[in-house]
Chains A and B, each alone.
Chain A
């Protein structure tokens, strides 16, 4: 079983996000990138599948600050192959990124492609279903659990309200991971360092980076402050008293 995991970086929400003077994009001066949370889960899920069913895990990502570190971390967790797409990805949208991934994935012939169900900065669709279309594979998203069954995979797809659907999908297929069966594991720094001296990152040129289906943002802004909550100030005692008043007013007390 060969599992490919295309992943991407997104702005780190721990940092304060600001809009650039043009007003149509994020200010990159203070921007820091971090792995998309769902992609991190996809890597974990791939390694869990490998540990259970055997096989190989290949993690692929576009060149970015910190990409090497992330790939080595994935290798320390158990990934077997690391691929870095090279080129200028600074303004690339998801369609183009998915095409670039698809080019590489075609030659890899994976049985299963796992990727994050979405990323928080997706503006033109998500990578998983785009990849499925470019590669002619079926797609199932919001997956939080996988069982391999011969040439099929049973995916546990999450719906609103806690409903879960067991979906049977013929391989090869793309699954959009909502959550791995267990939270992404921790890898000790010493392990990553060890891997850095042994693992190799294959570099492949990212092709087809045209931006045909681009979504044009004419204004980017922070959510309106006018809608903000009325703040209750004072000591815990004061705040508690004010809350009691609100509870009473609403008849919940």
Chain B
């Protein structure tokens, strides 16, 4: 009867030696893991409570299901193969250990026999192939295809770390097959056909003769075992540690809305100066990074100037946290202010990271320190100064905030004086930017035509603070929140309505609850969509334009509003053509996170221009539709600078609605 012949051809001393080695390995392994945990615990405390079943479920989908990893085909299949192959092989080894050292040793029976054993052998034999396939793909990708995101690591020894993992895993798999082949060549059991690979190898080795094969078997077996222990020993000390750190990172990920930043560290100044001021979860982030570079590929800052690479930031911070002399400031030595200011906080990196690392939170924490030290460019200083004094970044009087309403008929209601259903939070750009006045007035006109009972706050509105917070000026953000909240408290309304995704995000996710709880916050795309669905907006014209739509970061990725604006576009009778990067993969315009207030450093290609060229690649589109005031100005400029003025125009969503009404 087929049966597992564990320790065939293995002398007793080797068997004993293996068990001793196993205990030593376990000891080192445990030491290594504890060392990691201790290091994380040096960070600031942070609670990641609740959602137990959600967290478990994400382990199932993201670890076992490899969902995010599989979002990219080649690397996805590659990793999936290695992951599942190694997992089953490891599980098989564990079963064999139980078979020999538990059931056989203590109870005198083996369960790996008969058809169970045949299934066992066949499965392991085939999954070994899967691992080899995955490793082959990995070797090809890393050393032959060599995509840019796997190049130029900021920490040199990381290339060795990557190579080590591939070599060790390849050796384990190949030596495993060889051991099996040598055993079959000598034992020649009739169930060997169920180990097709091992059996094939055995046929090649037969001619060497039994004594040679037996000797070879012992040697290869020993090497196989040693490598396996080597992998286990090195697991907590090398890139292999991601096997543990990534599932942990996925389990402990934030379950709060993506648009709600955690508050700033206020001990010893604001923000993060030294690594221990990060939270334990951020330190775990650094340890979870496998520098796969997906973040770098989607990063608009990297694409435009190569100053910032989220991958490099994680690698550098991780290397620093393990350095012996690491008590000093991170700023200058480890990360540069240019890198930090380059981030648009578009969240694309976070969205694609298979390890669920939250880069943006880390960048903002580091920026908070720079702001605390007053280290920023003059333009940003001026903008923040203006926001503090006048409540807007334009440095114009707050009394001019509602200047755009002049001459509008009927006059817009003052929400501070009369009750309204919708409180329209207009936002800085829509209020002050001269090139947006027409759009803002048109928006008011549409709101009137569709019968909204709405009002605005006139000079009492302040910048909502979304980007102030992302710049790292937490104190100013709190002040702006206070001022707006005080005004909200005095007004009677049901819903806050805004056209600005940045204001929308802060108001929806970061403002405190008022006396009557948190008011509903709607983006105009959502409201228009709801009203169209309810039959409250009827269009008289079908526009028949061919258009594309740009997802604003703070509407799409941050708040998951992808469908509403698309339904509105289609309701106006336009044909929507998607750009290659759309939905949660939409490419940022480059203005977010306070970038619009900062000096522009030398760039290869502005993100907004890259985006417009992407749209220009679509055949026959007539308009580029935006749903964000900042986008409107950014892309109008980019259409000009890329010479696409003859090809298509930038339109606000409201332009389509107004025209179709």
Residues of A within 8 A of B (CB): 14-16, 30, 34, 183, 185-193
- With CB as the reference atom, state the residue of chain A lying closest to B479: A189
B381, B396, B473, B479: which contacts A183 (Cβ < 8 A)?
A: B381
A186 close to B390 (CB less than 8 A): no
B478 close to A189 (CB less than 8 A): yes
A14, A183, A185, A188: which contacts B397 (Cβ < 8 A)?
A: A14
- With CB as the reference atom, state the residue of chain B lying closest to A66: B389
A16, A183, A188, A189: which contacts B378 (Cβ < 8 A)?
A: A183
Contacts of A188 in B (CB 8 A): 270, 371-372, 374, 473-476
Taking A34-B389, A183-B381 as contacts, is the C-beta distance between A189 and B475 under 8 angstroms?
Answer: yes
Bound Cα distance from A15 to B400, whole angstroms:
9
Bound Cα distance from A183 to B397, whole angstroms:
23
B34 in the interface (beta carbon within 8 A): no
B502 CB to nearest A CB, Å = 20
B376 close to A186 (CB less than 8 A): yes
Bound Cα distance from A187 to B475, whole angstroms:
10
A26 CB to nearest B CB, Å = 15
Contacts of A185 in B (CB 8 A): 374, 381
7 A-B pairs with the lowest CB-CB distances in the bound complex, closest first: A189-B475, A190-B475, A186-B381, A185-B374, A186-B374, A189-B476, A188-B372
Contacts of B475 in A (CB 8 A): 188-193
Contacts A185-B381, A191-B270 known; 13 new A-B pairs at CB < 8 A: A14-B397, A15-B397, A15-B399, A16-B397, A16-B399, A183-B381, A186-B376, A186-B381, A188-B371, A188-B476, A189-B388, A190-B266, A193-B475
Bound Cα distance from A186 to B266, whole angstroms:
18
Bound Cα distance from A87 to B550, whole angstroms:
59
B482 CB to nearest A CB, Å = 11
Contacts of A34 in B (CB 8 A): 389
15 contacts between A and B (CB under 8 A): A14-B397, A15-B399, A34-B389, A183-B381, A186-B376, A188-B473, A188-B476, A189-B473, A189-B478, A189-B479, A190-B270, A190-B474, A191-B270, A192-B475, A193-B475
- With CB as the reference atom, state the residue of chain B lying closest to A14: B397
B474 close to A187 (CB less than 8 A): no
Contacts of A187 in B (CB 8 A): 374
B397 close to A186 (CB less than 8 A): no
Bound Cα distance from A253 to B478, whole angstroms:
55
Contacts of B376 in A (CB 8 A): 186
Taking A14-B397, A16-B397, A193-B475 as contacts, is the C-beta distance between A186 and B385 under 8 angstroms?
Answer: yes
Contacts of A14 in B (CB 8 A): 390, 395-397
B384 in the interface (beta carbon within 8 A): yes
Render B258-270 as a binary contact track against A, CB cut-off 8 A, 1 for contact: 0000001010001
Render B59-94 as a binary contact track against A, CB cut-off 8 A, 1 for contact: 000000000000000000000000000000000000
Bound Cα distance from A191 to B375, whole angstroms:
14
Contacts of B473 in A (CB 8 A): 188-189
Residues of B within 8 A of A (CB): 264, 266, 270, 371-372, 374, 376, 378, 381, 384-385, 388-390, 395-397, 399, 473-476, 478-479
B452 CB to nearest A CB, Å = 31
Bound Cα distance from A192 to B384, whole angstroms:
14
Contacts of A16 in B (CB 8 A): 397, 399
Contacts of A191 in B (CB 8 A): 270, 372, 475
Contacts of A15 in B (CB 8 A): 397, 399
Bound Cα distance from A13 to B496, whole angstroms:
33
- With CB as the reference atom, state the residue of chain A lying closest to B468: A189
Bound Cα distance from A15 to B266, whole angstroms:
35
Bound Cα distance from A186 to B371, whole angstroms:
8
A186 close to B384 (CB less than 8 A): yes
B645 CB to nearest A CB, Å = 12
Bound Cα distance from A189 to B374, whole angstroms:
10
- With CB as the reference atom, state the residue of chain B lying closest to A183: B378
A9 CB to nearest B CB, Å = 13
A36 CB to nearest B CB, Å = 15
Contacts of B270 in A (CB 8 A): 188, 190-191
Contacts of A186 in B (CB 8 A): 371, 374, 376, 381, 384-385
Contacts of A30 in B (CB 8 A): 399
- With CB as the reference atom, state the residue of chain A lying closest to B370: A188
Bound Cα distance from A185 to B377, whole angstroms:
10
A18 CB to nearest B CB, Å = 12
A32 CB to nearest B CB, Å = 8
Contacts of B395 in A (CB 8 A): 14
Contacts of B264 in A (CB 8 A): 190
A184 CB to nearest B CB, Å = 8
Bound Cα distance from A174 to B474, whole angstroms:
38
Bound Cα distance from A30 to B399, whole angstroms:
10
B377 CB to nearest A CB, Å = 10
Contacts of B397 in A (CB 8 A): 14-16
Bound Cα distance from A191 to B270, whole angstroms:
8
Contacts of A189 in B (CB 8 A): 388, 473-476, 478-479
Bound Cα distance from A14 to B388, whole angstroms:
14
A153 CB to nearest B CB, Å = 26
- With CB as the reference atom, state the residue of chain B lying closest to A185: B374
- With CB as the reference atom, state the residue of chain A lying closest to B376: A186
Bound Cα distance from A193 to B397, whole angstroms:
24
A105 CB to nearest B CB, Å = 28
A46 CB to nearest B CB, Å = 16
A6 CB to nearest B CB, Å = 22
B655 CB to nearest A CB, Å = 19
- With CB as the reference atom, state the residue of chain A lying closest to B476: A189
- With CB as the reference atom, state the residue of chain A lying closest to B270: A190
